[in-house]
Amino acid sequence: MLMLSTHDPADYRTQARAAGACDFITKSAFDPFVLQDAWAGATSDA
């Protein structure tokens, strides 16, 4: 699971990970390369 939000990651990153998210990306930082990095990190942990 990937969490995408408009909120500051400092506020929600820990909660997202506790809920099972592999990463937390703000909408302002979201682009195909960030998504690719998040996907690579999630699949390398599996």
pLDDT single digits (tens) 1-46: 777 888 776 778 888 888 888 888 888 888 999 989 988 988 875 5
Strand partners, 23: 2
Which pair of structure tokens corresponds to residue 7? 């909120």
Q: For the whole prediction, is pTM greater than 0.75?
A: no
Structure confidence at residue 45 (pLDDT):
57
Q: By residue range, what is the domain housing residue 16?
A: 2-45
CA neighbours within 13 Å on the CB side: how many for 11?
Answer: 5
Could you give the CA distance from residue 26 to residue 6 in angstroms, rounded to a whole number? 5
pLDDT at 3: 79
The amino acid at residue 32 is P
Structure tokens given for 15: 């909660």
Total domains in the chain come to: 1
The CA-CA-CA angle for residues 35, 44, 28, to 5°, reads: 20
